[in-house]
């Protein structure tokens, strides 16, 4: 069932989404060579707790981190580790969810660590662009397929591959709600968008193949060829007009 939020519920949800955005912005401030993903996770956890929230991901289906931190060929669900240190030239995806006042905020961004290659930089730029191309289609009367098609076309026309095994989703009082929001699809297909729907739109894009595999830890998803991948995400509300990007630090 698709949950449509009223104005009061959206106002409460904005508290969670703004905090989630603040966390991600905060995390970006200490991305540097030499820091471990464990330390990044600790700082994120402490920031969320200090501001009265709870990490949405901690304990979710047994996940052991407060954020998913994925490096280079790791696409999503990277488990924070004292053994994984960031190095100059890496790219690192941080996916953060925050639960506050009964609602979740969910966002992600892939960051550059120091000086990255031109190939990596272009992948990040195109993946982020595809997110905003999808958001442009989050309009009342459109369908989820309009978002999906916009993301897919942006990525594939640039020579990249959208991952089909993992998709965006509705978000609200539950971290994952209906409807599904794939990063591939056809215009005019899927559930119709109406004001009050809130969606986590999240392109997940691979450099050389749409295929992925899961590591032995049961969580970490990697590009099947071991090449780079990127992940960007915003929580977005459908309004009577233009889409509202909820995961911003101020509105």
Bridge-partner residues for 100, per DSSP? 103
Interval 135-157 mean pLDDT:
98
Question: Is 25 part of a structural domain of the chain?
Answer: yes
Question: Is 50 part of a structural domain of the chain?
Answer: yes
76/201 Cα distance (integer angstroms): 14
Secondary structure of residue 18 in the 3-state scheme: helix
The whole-number pLDDT of residue 57 equals 98
Query: For residue 113, what pLDDT band results from cuts at 50, 70 and 90?
Result: very high
Question: Is 1 part of a structural domain of the chain?
Answer: no
The whole-number pLDDT of residue 175 equals 98
Interval 53-75 mean pLDDT:
98
Report CA-CA distances (Å) from 10 to 5, 104, 193, 233, 249: 6, 11, 16, 19, 16
Positive or negative torsion for Cα 179, 183, 184, 189 = positive
Which helix (H) or strand (E) segment is 130 a member of? helix 118-136
Question: Is 59 part of a structural domain of the chain?
Answer: yes
Is residue 187 predicted with pLDDT exceeding 90?
A: yes
* Domain total in the chain: 1
Q: What angle is formed at CA 208 by the lines to CA 202 and CA 214, rounded to 5 degrees? A: 65
Interval 10-16 mean pLDDT:
98
Q: What angle is formed at CA 107 by the lines to CA 226 and CA 118, rounded to 5 degrees? A: 45
250/219 Cα distance (integer angstroms): 33
pTM comes to: 0.97
Q: Could you read off the pLDDT of 188-240 as tens digits, one per residue?
A: 999 999 999 999 999 999 999 999 999 999 999 999 999 999 999 999 999 99
The phi and psi torsions of 233 (rounded to 5 degrees) equal: -155, 140
Interval 35-64 mean pLDDT:
98
Domain of 29: which CATH number? 3.90.230.10
Residue with tokens 């930089």, as numbered in its chain: 121
Is residue 122 predicted with pLDDT exceeding 80?
A: yes
Of the chain, the percentage scoring pLDDT greater than 70 comes to 100
Question: Is 161 part of a structural domain of the chain?
Answer: yes
Query: For residue 250, what pLDDT band results from cuts at 50, 70 and 90?
Result: confident
Structural domain of residue 133, as residue ranges? Answer: 7-245
Question: Is 86 part of a structural domain of the chain?
Answer: yes
The whole-number pLDDT of residue 233 equals 98
CB atoms within 10 A of CB 82: 10
CB atoms within 10 A of CB 92: 23
Residue with tokens 């076309």, as numbered in its chain: 153
Query: For residue 109, what pLDDT band results from cuts at 50, 70 and 90?
Result: very high
H, E, C per residue of 192-251 = ECCCCCEEEECCEEECCCCCEEECCCCCCEEECCCCCEEECEEEEECCCCCCEECCCCCC
Query: For residue 154, what pLDDT band results from cuts at 50, 70 and 90?
Result: very high
47/25 Cα distance (integer angstroms): 11
Question: Is 250 part of a structural domain of the chain?
Answer: no
Question: Is 2 part of a structural domain of the chain?
Answer: no
């Amino acid at each position: 069932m698709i949950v449509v939020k009223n104005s009061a519920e959206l106002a409460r949800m904005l508290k969670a989404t703004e905090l989630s955005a603040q966390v991600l912005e905060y995390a970006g401030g200490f991305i540097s060579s030499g820091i471990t993903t464990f330390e990044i996770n600790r700082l994120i956890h402490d920031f969320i707790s200090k501001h009265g929230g709870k990490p949405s991901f901690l304990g979710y289906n047994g996940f052991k981190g407060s954020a998913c931190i994925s490096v280079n060929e790791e696409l999503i669900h990277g488990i924070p580790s004292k053994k994984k240190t960031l190095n100059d030239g890496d790219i690192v995806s941080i996916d953060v969810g925050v639960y506050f006042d009964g609602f979740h905020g969910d966002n992600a961004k892939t960051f550059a660590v120091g000086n990255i290659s031109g190939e990596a930089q272009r992948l990040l730029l195109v993946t982020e662009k595809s997110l905003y191309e999808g958001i442009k289609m989050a309009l009342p009367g459109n369908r989820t397929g309009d978002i999906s098609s916009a993301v897919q076309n942006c990525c594939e026309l640039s020579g990249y591959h959208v991952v089909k095994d993992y998709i965006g989703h509705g978000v609200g009082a539950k971290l994952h709600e209906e409807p599904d929001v794939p990063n591939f699809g056809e215009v005019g297909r899927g559930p119709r968008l109406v004001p009050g729907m809130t969606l986590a739109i999240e392109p997940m894009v691979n450099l050389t193949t749409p295929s992925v595999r899961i590591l032995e830890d049961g969580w970490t998803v990697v590009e099947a060829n071991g090449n780079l991948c990127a992940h960007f995400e915003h929580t977005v509300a459908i309004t009577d007009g233009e889409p509202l990007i909820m995961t911003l630090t101020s509105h």
